[in-house]
Amino acid sequence: MARTLQQPSHRRRNKIPAALATATALALAGTGLALSAGGANAAVGNLVNNGGFDSGLSGWNCVGSTSAVSTPVHSGTGALAATPGAGDTAECTQTVSVLPNTSYTLNGWVQGQYVYLGARGTGGTDPSTWSAQSAWNQLNTTFTTGASTTSVTLYVHGWYGQPTYYADDIQLIGPGGTASPTPSASATKSASPSASASPTKSASPSASASPSQSASPSASASPSPSASSSTSNPPSNSTLPKHVLTGYWQNFDNGSTVQKLRDVQSAYDIIAVSFADATTTQGGISFTLDPALATKLGGYTDADFKADIAAKHAAGKKVVLSIGGQNGAISVGSSVAATAFSDSAYKLIQQYGFDGIDVDLENGVNSTYMAQALHTLAAKVGPNFILTMAPETIGMYSTSGAYFQLALATKDILTVVNTQFYNSGGMNGCDGKVYNQGTIDFITAQVCTHIQGGLRPDQVGIGVPASTKAAGGGYVNSTVVNNALDCLATGNHCGSFVPPAKWPTIRGAMTWSTNWDANNGNDFSNNVGAFAHGMQ
């Protein structure tokens, strides 16, 4: 987010070459998360029957042109070969008995254009991951079952009209449900499902360390949330509506409409005060009302500002302090810096009455230590802590990126990620195709990537500039934003890209900024606000 007139909120980037963009986007599929399995009294192992397809399609229910083949295989003697048709995805499913309130890891080896692996009926957010590689590659995802969930349906499928895909060595690691027989050696390609089992033939991430509760994806995998953080209940945030509008309030004058906080349009549910400043202590932050702005507003004081925050609270709004921006130099790269950040941020929250923090770090982020700092801060603030993020598009392009890792590592306390879908040129969407900024397809295809990468739909929002003056490129009018929200939630009003699923809990939209919105006749808050709040 920029402080200067008509400047991009981050460095402008040229369009990414399709080949490079595709390679980058596909890194999304290479990062898996591992959660410890619950059910301490249940045996932990691979619950999939014939996951290696060595016994043909036994144990699977398949639709379309599907068969077991002897080549190519990842290992063993069989693999699934499936060719999607014009009206089907050549899907194979298997229902597996599981335990309630328990974490599971799902993985499998695949090759081919647009291969999807996931689970339905988990009782929570159903996981899905995908890739489009010509060589064998492993997909990984995780989920936690609901309180009454006793079975889930695993699936693998391709995409309509695409070439043949292959799948092998599909595993669901975790304790089996009471109605499920213990997998035998003949049912899987591993010697035994027990915790002391020898490595499976697929050399899966959990193979080198027995499939125990502490197994991690791999030594080389990017950082993932700990089991305790990933399975915690999400923050309360109970006073927020199902679909929210987020807007940034500028604590500076850059030629837009200046506002006191009390003047921020009533449609905004979350107001991000821009920005906190770095102190001389690494990780430390401070906040001061800009003197020039205060003068222009007729003498806006700290007491006025605090009273305005209280008034917004009384109206049911949340006010968070944003760190970073285009010129932000806040760095949290060590445990000491993490402590300095959480201590100083908590002091400001107490001093002004902020509800939480917005992370808009556009000059680098250390996901490990920033996640540590945010978890510490959340523990200090309590269950109503609000955590929002506004990464640049490139920061959420792949789960291997530090910003995406930060979002996943704080998923247990994360309210919403509103990625800046602007100033980014063209990028690959979740279907591998390149879409240009400033279009509905760019927005919806990027949101798809975020959700398939592991965020819940209710943690993902759309970030756009409020006017053509607010960013260097990528502006879309309010109708496009509304259509994008409708497309993501209901499958209606989509462009050429149609998401592979409907996400009715999509969180909402964000804009830079409330000031530029006022400068543009309040088009964003009036139109997008009304639409978002009217969504079911």
Residues 350 and 477 in one domain: yes
Average pLDDT over residues 12-21: 33
Same domain? 180 vs 273: no
* End position of a domain, from candidates 134, 166, 195: 195
Asked if 97 and 143 touch (Cβ cutoff 8 Å), the reply is no
Q: What residues make up the domain containing 445?
A: 18-25+232-534
* 60: CATH: 2.60.120.260
Indicate whether 384 and 469 sit together in one domain: yes
Does residue 362 carry a catalytic annotation?
yes
Do 309 and 404 belong to one domain? yes
pLDDT on residue 6: 43
Shared domain for 348 and 278, answered yes or no, is yes
CATH number reported for the structural domain that contains residue 301 in this entry: 3.20.20.80
Same-domain status, 40 and 114: yes
**Is there a domain that residue 223 lies in?**
no
Q: Once rounded to an integer, what is the mean pLDDT over residues 51-59?
A: 94
* Residue after which a domain boundary falls, among 170, 195, 220: 195
With b for 16 or more beta-carbon neighbours within 10 A and e for fewer, the 301-319 pattern comes to: eeebbeebbeebeeeebbb
Domain count, the chain: 2
In a domain, 214, yes or no: no
Rounded to an integer, the average pLDDT of 7-15 is 35
Q: Are residues 330 and 280 in the same domain?
A: yes
Phi-psi sector, 148: left (phi>0), alpha (psi -120 to 50), beta: alpha
**Same domain as 384, residue 508:** yes
On whether both 185 and 301 belong to a single domain, the answer is no
**Whether 325 and 236 share a structural domain:** yes
Check whether residue 278 and residue 154 sit in a common domain.
no
140 domain residue, yes or no = yes
Is residue 101 a part of any domain in this protein? yes
Q: How does pLDDT run across 134-191, given as a tens digit for each residue?
A: 899 999 999 999 999 999 999 999 988 889 999 999 999 888 886 433 333 333 333 3
Instruction: Give me the catalytic one of 168, 362, 431, 458.
Output: 362
Percent of the chain with pLDDT over 70: 79
Last residue of a domain, one of 171, 195, 219: 195
Q: What is the pLDDT of residues 270-293, one digit of tens each?
A: 999 999 999 999 999 999 999 999
Give me the residue label for tokens 């202590």.
Answer: 281
Mean pLDDT of the chain: 82
In angstroms, how far is CA 363 from the centroid of its own chain? 20
Determine, yes or no, domain membership for 97: yes
Same domain for 101 and 250, yes or no, is no
Question: Which of 96-110, 112-126, 210-224 shows the lowest per-residue confidence on average (mean pLDDT)?
Answer: 210-224
Q: Examine the pLDDT at 205 and tell me if it is beyond 90.
A: no
Structure tokens belonging to residue 315: 């109206």
Nearest to 421 by CA among 321, 509, 518, 359: 509
- Output the pLDDT for position 158: 92
Query: Residue with structure tokens 């089996």?
Result: 176
Cβ neighbours for 174, distance < 8 A, ≥ 6 positions apart: 37, 38, 39, 44, 47, 98, 99, 102, 103, 104, 105
Q: Flag whether 177 is in a domain.
A: yes
Which residue shows structure tokens 């008509």? 6
Q: What's the rounded Cα separation, in Å, for the pair 79 and 52?
A: 6
What is the rounded distance in angstroms from the CA atom of residue 23 to the CA atom of residue 390?
Answer: 24
Is position 462 within any domain?
yes
Q: Which of 374, 334, 379 is nearest to 358 (CA)?
A: 374
- Written as six digits, the tokens of 309 are 């925050």
Residue 57 counted as domain residue: yes
Q: Dig out the tokens for 217 from the structure.
A: 């994806």
Assessment of whether the complete model's pTM goes beyond 0.85 = no
